[in-house]
């Protein structure tokens, strides 16, 4: 079963909402940057914790590699915001971007 069919089946069954799919679709571009961070030897983690009852179900961590003792770890209710913040953190510490 391909991913589109799987997600459609889960939506029809009520396990996944259209809003959830849209949020994760937006996160996909940010996850590409996370993959690049991992390719450089750092650890890039996204945790989805269904046991949390405070609404802050996401944890994002960036550590290791050339970062040394410096790291990013934050919990929150908005995965995309956490990913943007983590990527900005890594960018500020490790990446030189044209125009800076």
Q: Provide the pLDDT for residue 99.
A: 52
29 found inside a domain = yes
Of 28, 35, 36, nearest to 95 by C-alpha is: 36
Domain range for 73 is: 25-94
Give the full edge-to-edge strand order of the sheet including 58-63.
Answer: 43-48, 58-63, 72-76
Secondary structure element (H or E) that encloses residue 89, with its range? helix 79-94
C-alpha angle with apex 84: 45 to 59, nearest 5 degrees?
35
Q: Provide the pLDDT for residue 24.
A: 86
100 found inside a domain = no
**Does the pLDDT value for residue 98 go beyond 80?**
no
Q: What is the pLDDT of residues 18-65, one digit of tens each?
A: 888 888 888 999 999 999 999 999 999 999 998 998 989 999 999 999
**Does the pLDDT value for residue 96 go beyond 90?**
no
For the chain, what is the domain count?
Answer: 1
């Amino acid at each position: 079963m391909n991913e589109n069919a799987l997600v459609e089946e889960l939506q029809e069954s009520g396990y996944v909402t259209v809003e959830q799919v849209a949020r994760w679709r937006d996160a996909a571009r940010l996850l590409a940057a996370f993959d690049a961070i991992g390719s450089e030897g750092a650890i890039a983690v996204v945790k989805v914790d269904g046991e949390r009852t405070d609404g802050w179900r996401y944890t994002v961590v960036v550590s290791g590699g050339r970062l040394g003792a410096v790291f990013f770890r934050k919990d929150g209710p908005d995965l995309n915001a956490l990913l943007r913040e983590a990527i900005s953190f890594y960018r500020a510490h490790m990446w030189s971007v044209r125009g800076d």
